[in-house]
Structure 1
């Protein structure tokens, strides 16, 4: 056999790698993007603070004073973020979470502070739940034998919605996983003349082990667990059912929380509903990346953007994330 008789080895005709050869090409054909307008920054404000207080399990995140909260919201608006989600931490708690319903309570005055600072340059959202305000740490009022009373809690949520609306909030986030909460909040807002205030429903919120750092952030007083009202991590169909129920009751946006361990649920919800879908990139997810990066085990900035891209790719239109401001700077 001569050299001329040796058959040539033809290369592949289809070469997907051609579209990966330069940053410009990769950027041009990217299927998923993350933009600052899609990001919401959760912010904590603590009553009585003279200066921001770092949260040890969430490096870079603080409990704000009222003035530093307003400044953080103004920065978020300048960065082009989609919104801020406010959580209040009172100095006094009680069995019914009465501070959440007090117009002069920390969360409600914080709403007014932030709206006065940013106007409608950014969407001002507020957590609508009792857990930060109850001395037992549950998301609702309790019966005599210690169970969360769903319907009594709904009455408190209705009043909380009216008070937050009066404070000027743009969007409320009922997060307690009480049956019927979205319908009750919608009726309360409409009945008080606040038809234009929208609802971000925590629809598929799971009883997750990844909430730990958040409980430090809000000085949680939780006794026991929330498995009787938050969803079982084993269930995905149930998450879709909850989202559909919330849409029927008037939710403007539905949310899956946590994000990373529930990307499959996020995809199912996105396919099932016709409203925008949010996902909460929660405290434990944040803390894991920060801890690994602090130990030099991963590239921190690349991991942040990859995490947010994965959540968008799974179907989220909106992402609540503690990296929102930093991500906006990186995306520039």
Structure 2
């Protein structure tokens, strides 16, 4: 309802938009068997709150390579204007939109030229670094895990009737499980499912602790794995030679386990929408954590005395590089108090720890 002295303006939709709206209306009536009224909002995403923007629209705009300043203005105002649209809105709306376009240009483009860093520049930089690191390491991890399976199991296992007979067979199982977990993370990223990435990363962390224990406990395979005995993950973390593993169990594993269960403490995380310009993308953070556990897992597989020597040499050289890239990510995340998290420090320490 309009307040006193407010004005309204009716705009005529283009033929293309009109057809899409009609399609939405027809779909609504087909689904609910009733006519659509003005109260039935079919243009938004799953839900909306005080945020002006729809995160799925931001993702689509970035996929279409729209200049960031216009996406920034959209997030601030809730509208997206082209040169043609400028003449179809009030002068006040047009000025507000233009103000935010200029604000972004001044705070990012000019800051980059002058070598200055602010929150917009920082978030843009760290997102680019995390994304680049994720893409690079993810591809090579997939290659190394597949290489392990090919070298150690091809011609020695009946893959259609796989059996765990020895440590190499178990490592092959963990390798394929991790390949599929990493593929899952990639698909989850495409659908903005941060919480599920943490759940999947939790599984990789478990595999890492299993192989680590294989390397430190000669009886673990025969007494536990081969007998399919109940294995307590907390106990594996306690017995690890790395103190960081116990801390990761307490801070990462327990937290990510909350997403597996119906834990009301996680409700806020499920409903929250991160700001794409002032908050580091949680998708990249969660995915990089998953990669970290996969790198540590690969390292433990290569350290297994039953692993082929050349595989160990090739893998160790790359793991050193991957660790350095991941450590860089955590160091940058630690720089800003808004993104600082004790888990980053522990992961960085674990990556820096010498192989035992």
TM-score normalised by L of structure 1:
0.24
The structure whose Rg is larger is 2
TM-score normalised by L of structure 2:
0.23
Q: Which has the higher helix share?
A: 2
